[in-house]
């Protein structure tokens, strides 16, 4: 068995996520206590006791999802469940980098807190939206986006075979949804994430993040991590800081990364954190691999009680 971990990004959040894990596992709570200390925020309160609207603010969402994923990892570490390679979607790449040791726990928390603030505060003014397009090929979606004249819209996430997310000005995104449907898309759905993420519109946030990244240390990788920017493993010669700064202005190549993991021989994928969207992406990529997710006590204990072998 070759295990790969997957870590979700913004959009997977929900109020109360992981609360049952927090109440049951001391090592889970311990991660929240450490993050509270580093950030100066009560991340447990922020995750369990706020409105959906407040949790969905970028500066809150990113640190909340990261903390939940790291807290689950703390339980898995105690149980000696490890991955040979990991990948995250957008924000989730930072979770993977912390897991790999390339980022220390403290530096990882600090940089994600800063990243969330920058992406929220330096997001250009405007009415932004994102939409998932299902069942239309990459070139056709690019063509549709290029031909929209009412505003800016561009591909942002290549999630899996047959699913691409576009991002841009709301009116342009809505027009692109209609055009994609006319071109034969099976589905085109507006998402609850609002911001021109993974497009050139976040250049100011990218430049500010680059300065913040200069303050942290990149360590040697203890496990492999797949990059969003090209769907390939980080190499020792890669400039990790530059890649992470460019990450927020370039499309996420998650589909390529999943294929890379399968080509490496990963046959068991575990999605760690809120939701199970990434598990769906794996299923659409390869139906022969084992797919598990951990987002509450039930899904965790299924794995701890032999789910890895029995599935």
Token duo for residue 144? 């549709």
Catalytic residue check, 198: yes
Q: How far is CA 46 from the centre of its chain?
A: 19
Q: What is d(CA 47, CA 28) in angstroms, rounded to the nearest whole number?
A: 14
Q: How many residues does the chain have?
A: 311
Longest CA–CA separation in the chain, Å = 55
Token duo for residue 208? 């500010």
- CA angle, 252 then 258 then 264, to 5°: 135
Q: What is d(CA 197, CA 83) in angstroms, rounded to the nearest whole number?
A: 28
Token duo for residue 53? 């609207």
Q: What is d(CA 74, CA 99) in angstroms, rounded to the nearest whole number?
A: 10
State the catalytic residue, choosing from 90, 100, 129, 206: 90
Q: Each residue of 219-251: b (16+ CB within 10 Å) or e? A: eebebbbbbbbebebbeeebebbebbbebbbbb
Which strand ranges, in their side-by-side order, compose the sheet holding 128-134?
153-160, 163-169, 128-134, 187-190
Helix axis angle, 92-100 to 105-121, nearest 10°: 160
Token duo for residue 273? 């954190």
Catalytic residue check, 247: no
State the catalytic residue, choosing from 100, 129, 194, 198: 198
Q: How far is CA 310 from the centre of its chain?
A: 28
Pick from 125, 121, 114: which is nearest to 209 by CA? Answer: 114
List, by residue number, the catalytic residues. 90, 198
């Amino acid at each position: 068995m070759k295990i790969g971990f997957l870590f979700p990004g913004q959009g997977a959040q929900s109020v109360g996520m992981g609360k049952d894990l927090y109440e049951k596992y001391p090592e889970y709570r311990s991660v929240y206590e450490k993050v509270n200390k580093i950030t100066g925020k009560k991340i447990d309160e922020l995750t369990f006791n706020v409105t959906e609207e407040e949790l969905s603010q970028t500066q809150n969402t990113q640190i909340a999802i990261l903390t939940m994923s790291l807290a689950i990892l703390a339980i898995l570490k105690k149980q000696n469940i490890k991955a040979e390679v990991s990948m995250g979607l957008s924000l989730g790449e930072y979770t993977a980098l912390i897991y790999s040791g390339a980022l220390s726990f403290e530096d990882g928390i600090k940089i994600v807190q800063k990243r969330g603030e920058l992406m929220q505060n330096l997001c250009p003014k405007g009415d932004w939206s994102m939409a998932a397009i299902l069942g239309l090929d990459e070139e056709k979606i690019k063509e549709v986006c290029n031909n929209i004249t009412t505003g800016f819209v561009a591909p942002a996430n290549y999630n899996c075979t047959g699913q691409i997310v576009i991002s841009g000005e709301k009116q342009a995104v809505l027009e692109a949804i209609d055009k994609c449907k006319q071109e034969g898309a099976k589905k085109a759905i507006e998402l609850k994430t609002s911001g021109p993420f993974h497009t050139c519109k976040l250049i100011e946030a990218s430049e500010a993040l680059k300065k913040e990244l200069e303050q942290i240390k990149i360590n040697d990788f203890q496990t492999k991590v797949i990059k969003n920017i090209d769907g390939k493993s980080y190499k020792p010669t890669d400039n990790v800081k530059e890649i992470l700064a460019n990450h927020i202005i370039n499309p996420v190549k998650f589909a390529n990364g999943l294929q890379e993991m399968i080509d490496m021989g990963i046959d068991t994928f575990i999605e760690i954190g809120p939701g199970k969207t990434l598990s769906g992406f794996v299923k659409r990529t390869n139906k022969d691999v084992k797919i598990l997710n951990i987002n509450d006590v039930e899904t965790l204990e299924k794995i701890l009680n032999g789910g890895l072998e029995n599935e």
